[in-house]
């Protein structure tokens, strides 16, 4: 059933969303350090590329309705980091391992030249680490509401893991879907996006349904999740932009601190009326912001630290 695109689209979905989900994509796999990594790919090979990176306990299809809309101009891919989606699980996780997976997928996807990475939340931390370690291989990075902050703003790894609950099977798909939650919660979601994302978040196992993500993935963070990318931020040398959700986790103070760490040369753009999970509540605002940044980067010279 999950292979039928129409079954993933709720009746209240607008036309643009339906069209985006019907844009053809392929499921690709690559081995990275002995772990099978899955990614989605749209558009023709040998084009300029975009690589979308999801947040913690999420998956590549959180980006589908946004990423697919760029496939008329770009080779577009969305990765399932190890421990997420349809990628295999690891015995241990780290920001560096995930960054290595992002680079491996970008190199495997048939992208012409240096790609732009777009990362959300924990995926933004992964994107920042990737940009610090492989700046010369990237055209730029766009980070969506990833709060890089000192430990006094921290959310502990144990607290984050507990927020997702203990893994247990649900006896029916309907019950599982009714239990889908985001961490953190927010006041508004587009129901048709939430339906698609939730449907793609489950796998059938025996007579029940389980969430796809590995509940041990938060072992990658020994103390503060929000501080994990802090050492990498000043090392970024490619173009960088921060999309700060007005109702999200990157407060004006955190945005200003990140701006300073980046050498005061990276734009910080507020997305109005947008929660932390911008692709779930304001997908067209997020799409427009990414398009505007890409268009500007095509016709401007980057500032240097």
Tokens standing for 94? 């780290």
Query: What is d(CA 9, CA 226) in angstroms, rounded to the nearest whole number?
Result: 34
- C-alpha distances (whole Å) from 152 to each of 147, 156, 162, 252 are 12, 11, 20, 16
Tokens standing for 199? 């449907």
Q: What are phi and psi of 265, to 5 degrees?
A: -125, 0
Q: Which helix (H) or strand (E) holds 175?
A: helix 173-178
Contact indicator for 75, 26 with CB cutoff of 8 Å? no
The pLDDT assigned to 125 comes to 98
Tokens standing for 160? 């984050």
Per-residue pLDDT for the chain (305 aa), expressed as one digit of tens each? Answer: 455 899 999 999 999 999 999 999 999 999 999 999 999 999 999 999 999 999 999 999 999 999 999 999 999 999 999 999 999 999 999 999 999 999 999 999 999 999 999 999 999 999 999 999 999 999 999 999 999 998 754 455 445 555 566 678 999 999 999 999 999 999 999 999 999 999 999 999 988 999 999 999 988 887 788 899 999 999 999 999 999 999 999 999 999 999 999 999 999 999 999 999 999 999 999 999 999 999 999 999 988 87
The pLDDT assigned to 133 comes to 98
Given the structure tokens 């999200």, which residue do they identify?
248
Q: Where are the beta strands (DSSP E) in the chain?
A: 26-32, 35-42, 49-53, 75-80, 116-120, 140-144, 202-205, 208-211, 239-247, 268-275
Give the start-to-end residue ranges of the domains of the chain: 5-298
DSSP-based three-state secondary structure for 25 = coil
Q: pTM score > 0.85 for this model?
A: yes
Given the structure tokens 């770009």, which residue do they identify?
74
Rg of the chain over CA atoms, in angstroms?
18
Query: What is d(CA 290, CA 2) in angstroms, rounded to the nearest whole number?
Result: 29
CATH number of 5-298: 3.40.50.1820
Tokens standing for 82? 């190890």
């Amino acid at each position: 059933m999950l292979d039928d695109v129409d079954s993933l689209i709720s009746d209240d979905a607008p036309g643009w969303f339906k069209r985006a989900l019907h844009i053809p994509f392929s499921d690709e796999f690559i081995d990275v350090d002995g772990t099978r990594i899955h990614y989605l790919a749209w558009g023709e090979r040998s084009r300029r590329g975009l690589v979308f990176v999801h947040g913690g306990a999420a998956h590549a299809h959180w980006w589908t309705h946004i990423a697919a809309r760029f496939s008329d101009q770009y080779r577009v891919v969305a990765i399932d980091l190890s421990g997420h989606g349809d990628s295999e699980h690891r015995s241990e996780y780290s920001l560096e391992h995930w960054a290595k997976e992002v680079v491996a997928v970008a190199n495997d996807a048939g992208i012409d030249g240096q790609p732009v990475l777009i990362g959300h939340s924990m995926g933004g931390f992964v994107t920042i680490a990737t940009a610090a370690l492989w700046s010369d291989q990237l055209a730029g990075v766009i980070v969506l509401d990833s709060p890089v902050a000192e430990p006094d703003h921290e959310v502990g790894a144990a607290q984050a893991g507990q927020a997702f609950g203990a893994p247990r099977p649900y006896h029916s798909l309907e019950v599982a879907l009714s239990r889908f939650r985001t961490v953190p919660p927010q006041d508004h979601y587009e129901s048709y996006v939430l339906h698609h994302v939730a449907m793609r978040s489950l796998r059938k196992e025996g007579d029940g349904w389980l969430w796809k993500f590995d509940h041990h993935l938060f072992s990658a963070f020994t103390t503060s999740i929000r501080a994990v990318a802090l050492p990498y931020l000043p090392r970024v040398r490619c173009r960088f932009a921060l999309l700060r959700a007005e109702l999200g986790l990157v407060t004006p103070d955190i945005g200003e601190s990140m701006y300073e760490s980046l050498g005061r040369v990276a734009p910080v753009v507020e997305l109005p009326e947008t929660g932390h999970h911008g692709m779930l509540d304001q997908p067209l605002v997020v799409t427009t912001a990414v398009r505007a940044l890409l268009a500007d980067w095509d016709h401007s010279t980057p500032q240097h630290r």
